[in-house]
Structure 1
Amino acid sequence: MQRRQLLPLAAGAAAAVALPRFAWAQGAYKAEYKMSTVVPPAFAWGKGGEIFANLVRERTSGRINIKQYPGASLVQGQQDREFSAMRQGVIDVLCGAPINWSGTVRELSAFTLPFLLPDHKAYDAVIGNTALMNEYFDMVRKAGAEPLAVGETGYRQISNSKRPILKPDDLKGIKVRVVGSPMYGEIMSSMGANPTFMSWADAQPALASGAVDAQENPLEVFLAAKINTLGQKYVTKWNYSNDILLYAIAAPVWSSWTPADQKIVREAAQDAARQQITLVRKLFAEDVQAVSALGVNVHQPTPAEMQEWQVATRRTYARWKAQIQPTFIGKVEEVVAKTRKA
């Protein structure tokens, strides 16, 4: 697949602008800058964070030392608190999924609407659209962070311990673990499932004990976390949501660095994001075969079945589009529509 330039380069002057409430003068650098990731480097997401931290350390000759804290350990495993913790100065660097921060900055979860980005062709067209991503980056800055680059968390699939899920009705009565996003909860409840909000750290023992029946995550997470050993026998690869992986720096930290170091850090994030996306795509191409080899039943919906899923989530989509950022999402829809005609 020919990939476009994935990330818009922010203008140098604009890149250094921080909100007045966060601004501080450039001063002595910290001995360590704390970066939060939900998962460790065994996962593509965590690996993207590791690559970024290593590149920054190497290219600044150790002036900027970013240390990765996986498992959202800086917020006791509660990944939905990452953005607010960054605002409080607990976290300096974010390498994460904006859906986890939707309770703090709802508009940043714009890319996660069900079936908004139906495939990688649409995904690449959207994150490769300079005007669109500059607009999104402005929203990140307004929220209190300097956006650097965008990777990919991966298409989320559903697995469960009860039965094959071939159509919306098959979700009825199934207890599904979802991340702390009311929208994800509503998607599940609208089809008769019983969503349960919990961190990933809490989800694994809940699956093992049978406290919940199902979970939704990229299949690379299914493989890396060995979710098949937690009673998950059935997988449906429905590609219902794919969030970006946002690399961002707390605004006061960003403003404390020299312009030269800001440039180094931004370029390191962009290089890390490109490597991370390549890894995600490789895992995506191989995941059905790898999961099936574990004895798990994997269903890949037909086009007619996919249409049924999209219809079932249409009302939830419309409601959350109106609440999140309707004008921006409308522009995303226009970019996606052009990929359907190409």
Structure 2
Amino acid sequence: MGKGDLVLITGGTGHIGFRTTILALEAGYRVRLSVRSQKRADAVLSAPTFKAIASKLAPNAITFTTVEDITTPGAFDNAVKGVDYVIHIASPITTGGQLSTDEYKEYFIKPAVQGTVGMLESAAKSPSVKRVAITTSVVAILPISEAFKPTLTLYNDDSRIPLDEGPYAVEFQAYSASKAAAYNATHDWIEKNKPSFDVVNLAPSFVMGKDDLDTSASGSIRGTNSQFINIALGKDLEGPMLGATVHLEDVARSHVQALDEHVPAGTYVLDWTPDEGEVKGTDWNDVRAAVKKLFPEAVEKGILPATGKANTVPLKVDGRKSERVFGFKYKTLEDQVESVIGHYLEFLEAGKE
């Protein structure tokens, strides 16, 4: 790893990807960002967070390559040419129930698996690639049953589960299956092909933190951040919620640090847990107290009632190994709430509803 090394980042216009891109640039990497269209590239270049560091960057510190369909054979062949590292984040995310059950496999499983394996195959064709870091998820290492009937099993970096072949009753089940399928396919590919480069898998829990590509308060109520905001707005969360969260900053930071050759290859669970001597995860109902403590004026004015409730399913996900390896403590639930809710209030104060 060295200053000026070139890293290809896929999914760089998403929640995790954009913040990872910013931190990679700040760390001195040159970034080649894979995007689906010029419109997405323009969104990056026009983002206030990027503009704030643009003048400090070397010429051509960031360039773009277009990959419209990650399931196409050889989709990343050109993108990986000459790169030193790859951070592969691109993968389908949940839609909030916009799909029918017969669309789940095509939307989730196919691109998750083919996109990941395709990236590995392309990287194997480029002798310059030293390491590939892949974003997976904690749902790739624990059975879907944990979302409804927890066993209080401790899940860690060595946990593996077989593929859930379906049928998938709900979207989250299909999403979880896609993560497990891609994760298992990665291990199978490595064992079969024994590539010259290292592979690091990063498995975050629910990622919470302001999205710098949001442009309005209403626009920020999406993805995982919507859970915190809805609780703050007095809305009850539907269904059971897995008790595991982690700050976006820590996830992005881990992705960049994972390129360091001193970080051993392998899997790292990224999850915050209260520092009370045991792994016990997040209680979503604690968000109410955090909002009241951090934003008392907004609560008093009724802007943030902070009365929403959640059915937290206890989950024991062990992120302590990643803290030791990466050398920092994960930000707390209060830090996560401050980032998400603070950003939401900034939009309201600026009249950007």
- Whether these two folds match at TM > 0.5 is no
More helix by proportion, 1 or 2? 1
After TM superposition, the score normalised by the length of structure 2 is 0.28
After TM superposition, the score normalised by the length of structure 1 is 0.28
**Greater relative contact order (Cα 8 A, min sep 6): structure 1 or 2?**
1
